[in-house]
Every structure is written in structure tokens, then in C-alpha cells.
Chain A
Amino acid sequence: MAFIELINVVKNYTKGSEVVHVLQDLNLSLNAGDFLALMGPSGSGKSTLLNLIGGIDKPTAGRVVVGGAELGGMSSSQLAKWRSESIGFVFQFYNLLPFLTAQRNIELPLLLTNLRGAQRKENAMTALRTVSLDDRAKHKPGQLSGGQQQRVAIARAIVADPQILVCDEPTGDLDRQSAQEILELLEILNDRFKKTIIMVTHDPLAAEHAKKVLHLDKGVLVESTEEAVSA
């Protein structure tokens, strides 16, 4: 069985009296260590698909199985625990807590573990070194550039050593130079640390860094660079 598997997934939203069909009978298989770029126009369902894999949304129908775990059958608290162990999130606008230092932001996922303060700090510093920002540990987000903030967010995503990183437009708010650095960092995390990465992007240049690229249109996978899908 594939590491990540979506089987006949349907996702609908209700907007007033209207039902919006976001994903339609979608099937997807990904192996551990894949680096997938999801592309497509706005409203095509990219982020919804990412949220389903990340366990922060549930399908209307179908199954989402990640690392052998059937996400649809989990309660909210089970899903929360699963996310804390299995998923690292990277958001377009970083979503760092503005009043915490970079190190404290990175420590957040470790608050859910049994690690003591000193160990949490050490792990956070290791993650900061991985993203080459250990000299910014005591800086708050407002004192960092966009690219640096996204590096801190990536450090936060990897600090608990999850198997999967879900990245929602991680370079969407960055200049070209910073975006390039972030994408190279993601490549390193995929190549060297064997993280499975699913990245939503509008940017074809960003997608070039992924091993696989899938295109979504109106909730249907329409095109891919590899034989990873069938819709």
C-alpha cells in the first residue's frame, strides 16, 4: 500500500443553499519520500486536498489513508494527536506567534511531547541550525525578513520530526531570492532527511523543485508529470 492514499475522495462545501463540489471522486497515491507539487487555478481544490492529507479537514466521502492511518475514522482529539506526531505545516504567511521568539515558536510542537525544557530548547536550536538561522534564535517574527520567518516556520514544522510536510504556497509571499532559498531548503529536507513533502503552489518555477507535479482543475486531477495518479 502507498504511504499516502486517497481513494474515491469527494469534498463538498455548503455555501448558503448551494453545494460547492470541491473535489470529485479523486484518487491519489504517494510513496514515502515523495516531493509533490500541486498546481492549478484558484478554487481548483489544491488547498482542500492538502488539508485532507494534513488531517485538518475531512472528506465528504471516500477514504484518506496516511501512513496506514485511516483519517476519516479518527475523532478530533485523535486527529490532533496524529497531526502532532506525523505532520509539519508550512503556511504561506508563516503563521508564527508574533510575541514569541524564533526559538519559542519552534518549540511549540514540542510542548505536546514529554520533553523537558532544556531538551526542547536543544531540539529547537538544532532545527534552527538546519535552516541556518541559529543566530536569530532570540529574534521575534517582527524582527525577521519574510524569508527568515518562513525558515523559522519550516524549522517549527520539522522540529518534532514528522514524516510529512504539507506546505501551502510556502513561497507565495516571498521575493524570488528568498523563494529560491526556501525551495532549496525543502529539497534538502526531502533528499537528505527523507521527508515526504506535498506543496501547493501557483509558481511553475517552484514546482520544478518537486519530484512530481499534479494539476488540479475543478476538483479533478487532470495532468501529471509522473504516473502517480488516476482520477
Chain B
Amino acid sequence: MIKQILKISLMNLRNLPSRFGISSVVVVGIGGVVGVLVAILAMASGFESALSSGASSDRVIVLRDGATDEMASSIGPEEIALIEILPGVAAHSPELYTVVDVPKMDTGTYANLIARGVGAGAFEVRPEIEIVEGRNFVPGRTEIIAGVKAASEFRGLAVGSEVSLRDSTWQVVGHFEAAGSAYESEIWLDFPAALNAFRRFSATSLRIRLDSPADFDVLSEAIEAESRLQVQVISEPSFMEGQSVVLRQIIRSFGYAVAVIMAIGALFAALNTMYTAVSTRTIEIATLRAIGFSSVPIVISVMIEAVILALMGGALGALFSYIVFNGFTVATLNPEAFSQVAFDFNVSTEIIYLGMTWAVVIGFFGGLLPALSAAFIPITAALRGE
């Protein structure tokens, strides 16, 4: 039995080039499904990665009690003064989170961009931030630095150019990277200058780097014990995850919905194609059965051929998506933050593995019915081409 399977399968596979036309339809069809699936999941993965990368367990964000994001929070200078001296605080940065309208690079239409006023300790809180072009802003001046993704997605953010924010003109003096995190989609400016420019009197959050992750509980208890503080402490990973949950669900749901619809289409296309491919070989298969080959090896060999074609399609689709989309930068609106977040498509090995799994499943079920049909139709009927 195994010998028959091997011999028929080898014979079929050796002769795939002679069935190039019909085989390529299967390969391209399944490749299309896998390509789209991989691209969509790479988008979701890239978005998640942008919002969660850089999150560190030794960093916390302090928000007003009841606030779920920085936009809805307010922390006054007195509260900041009380918190910065609490145990466990290694560095801190009061921050003003606000949104400004800046024209997008590709369309010229205005879109929301996060402008973050940061305190002097911002770089100590986030040591991964690195100025990659120009220099840092000088405190007290109307200078900004732009994240590299913001600079590529929005107009007027080149180093040396000027940008108008809320009735004042700011000079772009540098670009920074933040290990691929969402900060790269922001512009940063001096906290006191930001308060002045945006006519605000309090920070929206306080960012803190702890002496160690274990100090989270120490700080939380200290804040709890201080009756003058009406704030909450959230670890940075938890906060980042909460900031992306809606869009992440949208992208994932959309991605899977599209992929499932395409997969169903591809399954029927694969079924149709495999039926056509097998039906053109009905007499050939019947002849093999008449000669003495058994049905089961014929079914398995047709299945092997279908799965191999599907794997070829999957590999083609995944490769196409990898070449075209991996590292491709796009921006989208994060509904939680009311701002644009730029991120890179991330075609990871896990996503390619998932895509290949889909290809195998489509190939398996696409080939199963035609294979069963070809192998169990009465030989006499098959020899007549029925």
C-alpha cells in the first residue's frame, strides 16, 4: 500500500510540469488567499507591536482617578510634587498629551497628530529614545522633535522646517526613534512651553520609571495612603494594551472576516479546480485502477498532490506578502487616542506559519472530494469518461 502511494505520488509529482496550466490555477488561487491573510495579520501584528513595543514593566503612568486615557486625565503641579518624592520613583516626567492638526504627507488632508509636552526627565524615563537626526529641543524654546514615523507621515516635520501649532510657530530641530513604539508617531516639545502654548495648567499624566518592577506595589500603596492624591497608577504594559484593544479587535476581526470569506471562496475555487484537474484524469486514474492500483493509494496520492500544490501556493502568497508588505509603513487612527499611529507591517514567522496552515487546510479539503470521487467511481463508468 505505502509502496503504491509513493510510486503513484512520485509519478504525479514528476509530471506536474505537464499539467502546468491547471496546477498553476490551484497555486495562484491559494496563494492569493494566503497572501491577503498574511498581509492583514501582518498589519494587525504591526499595529499591536507599535503600541506595545517599548512598554516596560519598570515604568508606570499616573492618571486622574477614573480616567481611561491621557486625554481625559488631569494632574496638577501639587500632585506631581507629592508623587515625585514617593518611594520607588527613579525618574519622572509630567506630560501634556494633546492633539494637533497637521497635513498628511500623502494626501495633504489634516489629521490628528499627538503633541506631547515632556518634562526634563522624559529621556531618563524612556532611555530607548534616541535622537537620530538634528538635536533635542532646548527647554523653554518653541522647538519640537518629531518621531521618525510622524516625520514620514506628516508634512512640515523635516528638521529645520517650521510648523504652526495653536497660534504659535515651532521649529523642528530633531527626529527621534523609540524602538519602533507608538512614540515614533508623536511630536515632543518642552512641557512648560507646551502648557503655555496650549493654555493648560496641569499635566495630563505623569510618567515614572521605577527603581525596579517590584516597586509598582510600593508606589501604588504609597499613593493609596496619601489622601491628597486622587490618582491611579497603571503599569505601562497594561496601559499600552488598553490603548490598542479596540483597533486591534477591529483589525483582527476584519482580517479574519476577509480571510475566512476569501478562504471559503478559495476552497470552492480549489474544489472546482481540483475537480477539473482530476476529471481530466478520470480515464487515466481508471486505467491505473484497472491495471491493479488500489483506490486508497490513488486517493492519497491525489491528496498529496493537492496539498503540495497548496503549499506551493501558500509559500508564493506568503513570499509575495513578505516582499511587498514586510516593513511597509502605514498610519491609522487609533480610536482610543484620537490620533494617527504609524506602524510597520510585521510579517512574522508565526503569521507565515498560520498562512501555510490555512493553505494546507484549503488544499486538503479542496482535494479530498475530487480524490474520493475519482477513486471510488466504478471503473467501468470512469473508463467511459463519465
Contacts and interface: CB of A to CB of B under 8 A. Distances in A.
Contacts of B7: 111
Scoring B11, B283, B287, B378 by chain A CB atoms within 10 A of each residue's CB, the highest score goes to: B287
B135 interface: no
Interface string B1-21: 000100110010001001100
A47 B383 CA distance: 11
Given A95-B283, A97-B284, A99-B15, A89 B290 contact: yes
B287 A112 contact: no
Contacts of B15: 99-100
B178 interface: no
Contacts, number: 61
Contact of A109 (B18, B19, B283, B292): B292
B291 A89 contact: yes
A137 B19 CA distance: 22
A29 interface: no
Given A91-B383, A100-B15, A80 B284 contact: no
B288 interface: yes
Interface residues of A, number: 25
A83 B380 contact: no
A147 B176 CA distance: 80
Contacts of A81: 292
A12 interface: no
B293 interface: yes
A71 B291 CA distance: 16
A103 interface: no
Contact of B380 (A51, A108, A111): A51
B113 interface: no
Contacts of B293: 80, 84, 111-112
A54 interface: yes
A111 B287 contact: no
Contacts of B11: 100, 111
B294 A57 contact: no
Q: Looking at chain B's contact residues, is the secondary structure mostly helix, strand, loop, or mixed?
A: helix
Interface in A48-101: 48, 51, 54, 56-57, 76-77, 80-81, 83-85, 89, 91, 95, 97-100
B378 A80 contact: no
B120 to A, nearest CB: 76
B289 interface: yes
Contacts of A97: 284, 287
Contacts of A100: 11, 15
A85 B292 CA distance: 8
A108 B298 CA distance: 14
A54 B290 contact: yes
Nearest to B6: A111
B289 A80 contact: yes
Nearest to B18: A99
Contact of A83 (B18, B283, B290): B290
A56 B284 contact: no
B150 interface: no
Contacts of A111: 4, 7-8, 11, 293
B37 interface: no
Interface string B257-294: 00000000000000000000000000110011111111
A56 B287 contact: no
B211 to A, nearest CB: 73
27 contacts: A48-B380, A56-B290, A57-B379, A77-B294, A77-B296, A80-B293, A80-B294, A80-B295, A83-B290, A84-B292, A85-B292, A89-B290, A89-B291, A91-B383, A95-B284, A97-B284, A97-B287, A99-B15, A99-B19, A100-B11, A100-B15, A108-B291, A109-B291, A109-B292, A111-B7, A111-B8, A112-B292
Interface of B: 4, 7-8, 11, 15, 18-19, 283-284, 287-296, 378-380, 383
Listed from nearest, the 3 A-B pairs whose CB atoms lie closest are A84-B292, A99-B18, A99-B15
Given A56-B379, A76-B295, 15 more contacts: A77-B294, A80-B289, A80-B295, A83-B292, A84-B291, A84-B293, A89-B287, A89-B291, A91-B287, A95-B284, A97-B287, A108-B288, A111-B11, A112-B292, A112-B293
